[in-house]
Amino acid sequence: MRRREFITLLGGAAAAWPLRANAQQPKLPIVGFLGSGTPANQGLSSSAFAQRLRELGWIEGRTFALEYRWTEGRSERYAEFAAEFVRLKVDVIFTTGTPAAVAAKRATSLIPIVFAGAANPVGGGLVASLGRPGGNLTGLSSQNAEVASKRLELLREAIPSLHRLAVLVNIDNSAVVQELDEIQAAARALGLTVAPLETRQAEDILPAFKAIEHRADALYVPMDGLTINQRVHINTSALVARLPTMHGIRAQLEGGGLMSYGANTPDLFRRAGDFVDKILRGAKPGDIPVEQPTKFDFVINLITAKAFGLTVPPMLLARADEVIE
C-alpha cells in the first residue's frame, strides 16, 4: 500500500472513531416536569423533588435529563405541555396537581405518569383504586377536599363572628369544584352560608371581589395553579375588601393571607421522587400504590391578623406549626 493511501485510510478511520463512540452511548432517560405554577412559587417543592432524585443516584445531565415546563397558572397550557412531552418521548411525566395529571392522562396511556398533590385520584378518574392504581398513573394525593372541614373549623375559631363565607372557585379545575362540595357540607354543619365566586383566569379575580363586596366575612381560597400564581393579587385584594383568608398551602400566604392548612407540598414532591426512581428502574406505575400525605402544616400570619384587628386565641396559636410575625 502506498504511503499516501495508508495515511488517508488511517485518517478516515480516526475520524470515524468518535462517531462510533457517540453511537454507543446510551440515551439518558428523560423526566418531564409539568408544573402548575412558576419556578418562583414552586421552587422549594421542585428543589425537594430534584434533591430526592439526586439522593437516589439520578444526576441531572449525567444519568438522566429533566425537562421543566411551567403553566404559570394558565389551565390551557396543561394539554399543550403534556402533548409536547409525548412528542419528546420522555420516560416519565411528573405532574403537580389534578389538572396537570388529567391532561397528561389524556395525552398518553403508555408513558408512566407520577402525580404529586392530586386532590382525589380515584374520584377524579386518575386511578382505579389507591392500592391498585392500574394503568399508567400513580403518585400522592393532597387530600384537599377531605381537609376542607378542618380549614373551616380553624377559620371559625380565629373569627368567632364568621357567618358568611366567600369561596374563590376555579370552575375549570374539577378538584376545586369537588372541594366546593365539601366546603358547603362543612359550612352547613357550622351554620355558615357560602357564596362561590367563579373564576377561570386572572382577569376574573377583581370582578369576583367586586361581586362579593360587603357580602362576606371571610374568603376561602382553594389550592390551585391559578390561585397560587395570583396569590399576591388575591391577598392584597382581600386586604382592601377586609376579607381574612384561609388557604390550602403556606405558599399562598404571600401578600397578606391570614391562614393556611394543608399537606406539606415540598414533602409530597420529595416523596414523588421515590415513585419516579422506581419507575425508571423498571417498576410499573399501575403496581405502585397511591400514597396519602403524612405531614400537614398549619400557618397563621399574625401581621395580617393585626391588620384586620383580629385577636387570635392563644390556644389556636399554640397549635400552629408556624406563626408569621
Cell of 105: 392522562
Q: What is the pLDDT of residue 24?
A: 52
Dihedral sign for Cα atoms in the order 92, 35, 175, 245: positive
The per-residue pLDDT for range 35-68, each reduced to its tens digit, is 988 888 888 899 999 999 999 999 999 999 999 9
Distances 68 to 43, 77, 82, 93 between C-alpha atoms, Å: 12, 13, 11, 10
Strands 137-141 and 113-118: parallel
Running DSSP on this structure, what letter comes out for residue 283?
A: -
**What's domain 30-142+265-295's superfamily in CATH?**
Response regulator (3.40.50.2300)
**Closest C-alpha to 286, from 84, 126, 109, 132:** 132
Tens digits of pLDDT across the chain (325 residues) = 444 444 444 444 444 444 444 445 678 999 999 998 888 888 889 999 999 999 999 999 999 999 999 998 888 899 999 999 999 999 999 999 899 999 999 999 999 999 998 888 998 899 999 999 999 999 999 887 779 999 999 999 999 999 999 999 999 988 899 899 999 999 999 999 999 999 999 999 999 999 998 899 999 999 888 998 899 999 999 999 999 999 999 989 989 999 999 999 999 999 999 999 999 999 999 999 999 999 999 999 999 999 999 999 999 999 999 999 9
Question: Domain limits of the chain?
Answer: 30-142+265-295, 148-263+297-324
Question: Could you check whether 30-142+265-295 and 148-263+297-324 share the same CATH topology?
Answer: yes
Give the CATH number of domain 148-263+297-324; options: 3.40.50.300, 3.40.50.2300, 2.60.40.10, 2.60.120.380.
Answer: 3.40.50.2300
Q: Which residues of 199-224 are buried (b: 16+ CB within 10 A; e: fewer)?
A: beebebbeebbeebeeebbbbbbbbb
- The whole-model pTM stands at 0.84
